[in-house]
Structure 1
């Protein structure tokens, strides 16, 4: 048996709350040059594959599942899928799992503890500094947010106001209190995400999974919006419901711009940017707390695109 078959495969879990910057960090790892035989797992809460579409790696071998990509053949739970991948003749050199924004990374990291073929390299938790106070005190988000931090071996903070040293000091102190053992880094002080990535190896990874999950109290809905939207009206609507809406993301057409756009909403921040890749269906995925307010948001979204 070759040394590669005897050695364990390192597993990196990338966690963090909704909109914390996990996909951006994963893209930085890819651009930094992780092994071209790495396996990437996207664990998304929504029912359409927004996060997977945002990954920079666009190789046809990965996307055309009929070509024998291992995405076609691996079914069942995440643990079963990883076990099958580890038994392949050309098993991955490393595994990177991006968890959903409401997942507990510790539960995913536990897979490595019971696996004979996986070795937990690290659990990275992304933190949106601009939303930390809200997530820390909100009874609905606090338990999930703190659990994600407790699981981390490395905590990466971003989106802190550069001129607010008091806020940075408060947040770093809080994070150290919640997880004294974790290494804490302020990404806003880095030249780029890539400076935080592991040492580069080759190019980009090959296979990609999309694994939907669900959680108590959380809900997710995909709203089809078929015609160009009034961007200002949509932004006002999302902000009006931010007490129930934690995250929104999707591909839409705007009335004032011709290319298909990627919309992302988190906290009180709405961003638009041109969508890359070939045109696909236009839908907005909304994630939040289930209840009357979330239902009202969905009802108000329906007329926006002529649906």
Structure 2
């Protein structure tokens, strides 16, 4: 099984550790490995700690928290080689690091692949940081490399300021996908794509605060889909779609299942390497888009996805046609 890697970046004090703690507390059934620079900065709930062994803390929910140590590539390689390894790896980048450079380490093992770069930005200070003579270039570069930008500390500013920051980011980073930092219970739905994360394809997302900020739109079709048309649609999804997950069957390889993953601006559509997944119905394609509740337009998505359906020729008719010699 291939393992997705998500990089969490952002300047010092932006709120990366808070996001990680929420993720570790509510991994939504995904066996997760979180790789951090310093255990001391991650205030893991003592009730979650099952065991601590050197550079690794094992949690009661099946997740592990690992220290980068001297070599990130080696830490990732070791995780990929574990027989009981994680279903998803999250790497916390240093506050003064370029997340794109950290993301390059996802190639340190053949089983690893980059799922996305999420940059946490402090709604109260990010604009000032970008114009700072000393760190401005770094903060701007962090924002520009993000597939998804999570605005943190929105409770410290009013709604008008949050809107102004979002509009400012849309000018500074065109086509950026921006959300307010998700609360506990929401993080996994937006960030994770391990096997456990596919539950979102068949179960409604939680209500409450999550439902007020996000909404979902589902595409369900029997038979196979036009792969080229689907790839064109995915590339054209509006910025309001911040996450998409899917398990689909394509006309180009109708006997295989393909997995769609989208985080912000980054997406992939690859053959499914997990066999015997009982929760997936093999004769239908399911795609779920998670987007901002006040911006997602279901009618627009319906129109976008309309061309991907393919008329399926029954097997008996196909066999008959293949047996007829053409003149």
TM-score normalised to structure 2 length: 0.50
The CA deviation at 1:152 is 1.0
2:7 aligned counterpart, secondary structure: strand
Flag structure 1 segments of 5+ consecutive residues without an equivalent.
1-6, 203-307
State which structure, 1 or 2, has the greater radius of gyration over its C-alpha atoms: 2
Give yes or no for contact 1:74–1:84 (8 Å, CA) kept in 2: no
Change in Cα spacing, 1:42 to 1:74, as seen in structure 2 (3 Å) is closer
Summarize the alignment of residues 153-168 of structure 1 with structure 2, pairs less than 5 Å apart: 153-160=147-154, 161-165=156-160, 167-168=161-162
1:143 aligned counterpart, secondary structure: helix
Counterpart in 2 of 1:195? 186
Counterpart in 2 of 1:216? none
The one of 11, 15, 28 aligned to 2:9: 15
Change in Cα spacing, 1:195 to 1:34, as seen in structure 2 (3 Å) is closer
1:122 aligned counterpart, secondary structure: strand
The CA deviation at 1:29 is 1.3
Flag structure 2 segments of 5+ consecutive residues without an equivalent.
59-63, 198-327
Summarize the alignment of residues 278-297 of structure 1 with structure 2, pairs less than 5 Å apart: none
Distance, in Å, in 2 between the alignment partners of 1:73 and 1:132 is: 28
Distance, in Å, in 2 between the alignment partners of 1:72 and 1:19 is: 21
Deviates more, 1:171-180 or 1:121-130: 171-180
The CA deviation at 1:76 is 4.8
Summarize the alignment of residues 262-281 of structure 1 with structure 2, pairs less than 5 Å apart: none
The CA deviation at 1:66 is 9.6
The one of 44, 56, 59 aligned to 2:45: 56
Counterpart in 2 of 1:224? none
Summarize the alignment of residues 145-184 of structure 1 with structure 2, pairs less than 5 Å apart: 145-160=139-154, 161-165=156-160, 167-184=161-178
Distance, in Å, in 2 between the alignment partners of 1:64 and 1:76 is: 17
Change in Cα spacing, 1:140 to 1:62, as seen in structure 2 (3 Å) is farther
The CA deviation at 1:162 is 4.7
- CA deviations 1:235-254 (Å, max 9, x no partner) are xxxxxxxxxxxxxxxxxxxx
Counterpart in 1 of 2:18? 24
The CA deviation at 1:38 is 1.8
Summarize the alignment of residues 241-260 of structure 1 with structure 2, pairs less than 5 Å apart: none
The CA deviation at 1:156 is 0.8
The CA deviation at 1:19 is 0.9
Change in Cα spacing, 1:74 to 1:29, as seen in structure 2 (3 Å) is closer
Give yes or no for contact 1:35–1:93 (8 Å, CA) kept in 2: no
Counterpart in 1 of 2:325? none
The CA deviation at 1:122 is 1.6
Distance, in Å, in 2 between the alignment partners of 1:122 and 1:80 is: 20
Change in Cα spacing, 1:174 to 1:63, as seen in structure 2 (3 Å) is same
Q: What is the root-mean-square deviation of aligned Cα atoms in Å?
A: 3.3
TM-score normalised to structure 1 length: 0.53
Are 2:91 and 1:97 aligned? yes
Change in Cα spacing, 1:104 to 1:126, as seen in structure 2 (3 Å) is same
Q: What number of residue pairs does the alignment pair up? A: 187
- CA deviations 1:192-247 (Å, max 9, x no partner) are 34324327849xxxxxxxxxxxxxxxxxxxxxxxxxxxxxxxxxxxxxxxxxxxxx
Change in Cα spacing, 1:11 to 1:58, as seen in structure 2 (3 Å) is farther
Give yes or no for contact 2:73–2:108 (8 Å, CA) kept in 1: no
Are 2:72 and 1:81 aligned? no
The higher relative CO (CA closer than 8 Å, separation ≥ 6) is in 1
- CA deviations 1:277-296 (Å, max 9, x no partner) are xxxxxxxxxxxxxxxxxxxx
Counterpart in 2 of 1:211? none
